[in-house]
Chains A and B, each alone.
Chain A
Amino acid sequence: MKFERDPERIRNVLGPKVQFIQGDMAVAYGGLLAGCSFFGGYPITPASEVAEGMARLLPRVKGTFIQMEDEIGSIAAVIGAAWGGAKSMTATSGPGFSLMMENYGYAIMTETPCVIANVQRTGPSTGQPTLGAQGDMMQVRWGSHGDMEAIALAPSTVQESLDLTIESFNLSEKYRHPVCLMTDGEVGHLREKVVIPDEEDMPLFERVPATVEKEKFIPFTNSQTRDSKVPDFPTFGTGYRTYVTGLTHNEKGFPATDKQPDHERLITRLVTKISDDREKLTMVEELELEDAEIAFVTYGASARPAESAVAMARQNGIKAGMLRMQLVWPFPRKNVYELSKKVNTIIVPEMNLGQIYHTIKEFSDQGCEVICAPKVGGEMHLPHELYRYLEAKK
Chain B
Amino acid sequence: MTEIEDANKLREKYLRDGMLPTIFCNGCGHGVSLDYVFWAIEELGLDMDKVAFASGIGCSSRIPGYINADGLHTTHGRALAFATGIKAANPDLNVIVFTGDGDGTGIGGNHFIHAARRNIDLTVILLNNFIYGMTGGQQAPTAPLGSIATTSPYGNIEGAFDICELAQALGAAYVARWPISYPYQPIKSIKEGLQNRGFSLIELMSPCPTAYGRRNRLGKIESLWDWYDDNTILTEEYEKIMAYGTGEEKELVKSKFKIGVFQNITKAGYFEEYEKVIDRLITRDDAAMAKREGSK
Chain A residues close to B by CB (< 8 Å): 1-3, 9, 12-13, 37-38, 40, 59-60, 62, 64, 66, 68-70, 72-74, 76-86, 88, 102-103, 106, 234, 236-247, 252, 254-255
Contacts and interface: CB of A to CB of B under 8 A. Distances in A.
13 contacts: A1-B91, A37-B89, A62-B282, A66-B88, A76-B84, A77-B82, A80-B84, A84-B52, A84-B85, A103-B75, A236-B52, A245-B73, A254-B19
A228 B110 CA distance: 40
A64 B48 CA distance: 25
Given A37-B89, A76-B82, A77-B88, A70 B110 contact: yes
Interface stretch (B64-72, B124-132, B148-156, B163-171): B64-72
User: Across chains A and B, which 6 residue pairs bring their CB atoms closest together, nearest first?
Assistant: A80-B85, A84-B89, A76-B81, A77-B85, A81-B85, A80-B82
Interface in B80-98: 81-93
Contacts of B289: 12
Interface stretch (B26-34, B193-201, B235-243, B272-280): B272-280
Contacts of B78: 72-73, 76, 103
Contacts of B249: none
A106 B84 contact: no
A212 B16 CA distance: 19
Contact of A83 (B49, B86, B274): B86
B74 interface: yes
A38 B74 CA distance: 19
Contact of B74 (A37, A69, A246): A246
B285 A237 contact: no
Interface of B is mostly: helix
Contact of A246 (B75, B84, B111): B75
Interface in B50-70: 50, 52, 54, 64-65, 68-70
B220 interface: no
Contacts of A3: 89
Nearest to B72: A244
A195 B38 CA distance: 54
A12 B89 contact: no
Contacts of B48: 241
Nearest to A244: B72
B282 A76 contact: no
Contacts of A88: 85, 89
B90 A237 contact: yes
A13 B16 CA distance: 45
Contacts of A72: 78, 81
Given A59-B274, A70-B110, A85 B282 contact: no
B71 A243 contact: yes
B281 interface: yes
A79 B89 contact: no
Contact of B90 (A2, A76, A241, A244): A2
Given A1-B92, A77-B81, 12 more contacts: A1-B91, A40-B85, A69-B113, A76-B82, A77-B85, A80-B82, A80-B86, A85-B90, A238-B49, A240-B70, A242-B70, A243-B70
A73 B89 CA distance: 15
B73 A246 contact: yes
Nearest to B65: A243
Contact of B73 (A60, A238, A247): A247
Contacts of A239: 49
Contact of B89 (A9, A59, A85): A85
